[in-house]
């Protein structure tokens, strides 16, 4: 695999991080928005906190969009194996390959017998 291509594990870590960031930022916005203070100082602080949190929320959403683009590109070019194969998948694939070889041999044998006639 190309060293610049992300692995499935790295993508999963990035997904989890982005989701955690989105949830945390949204939670922070909701907590700040529900404070009932009437002083100008606290209102200014809350406004600044809302600005910071909303900017971070937008940044996290943009990172998720970037991540989906990377995932589409890696899947499109076939360089990302997100599913992998477990033992059952390996056995099934090997059985299919054996069955295909048996069918191929039978077809070739039939063609040889028809040519000899």
What pLDDT does residue 115 have? Answer: 73
* pLDDT for residue 42: 86
Q: Give the Cα separation of 18 and 25 in Å (integer).
A: 10
Which sequence spans correspond to the domains of the chain? 1-84, 85-117
**Residues 80-97: tens digit of each pLDDT:** 555 566 677 778 888 999
Burial class (CB in 10 A: 0-12, 13-18, 19+), 74: buried
pLDDT digits (tens, 9 = 90+) for 31-77: 887 777 778 888 888 889 999 999 999 999 999 999 999 888 877 87
32's CB contacts (< 8 A; 6+ apart) are 46, 49, 50, 53
Q: For the ranges 11-20, 22-31, 34-43, 71-80, which has the lowest average pLDDT?
A: 71-80
* Cβ burial, residue 49 (10 Å; 0-12/13-18/19+): middle
Task: Report yes or no on whether pTM surpasses 0.85.
Answer: no
Does residue 13 have a pLDDT over 80?
Answer: yes
pLDDT band at 1 (very low <50, low <70, confident <90, very high): very low
């Amino acid at each position: 695999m190309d060293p610049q291509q992300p692995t499935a594990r790295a993508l999963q870590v990035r997904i989890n991080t982005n989701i955690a960031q989105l949830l945390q930022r949204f939670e922070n916005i909701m907590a700040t928005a529900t404070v009932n203070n009437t002083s100008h100082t606290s209102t200014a602080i809350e406004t600044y906190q809302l600005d910071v949190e909303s900017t971070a929320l937008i940044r996290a959403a943009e990172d998720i969009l970037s991540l989906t683009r990377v995932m589409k590109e890696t899947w499109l070019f076939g360089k990302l194996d997100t599913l992998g194969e477990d033992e059952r998948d390996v056995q099934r694939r090997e059985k299919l390959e054996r069955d295909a070889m048996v069918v191929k041999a039978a077809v070739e044998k039939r063609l040889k017998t028809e040519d000899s006639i």
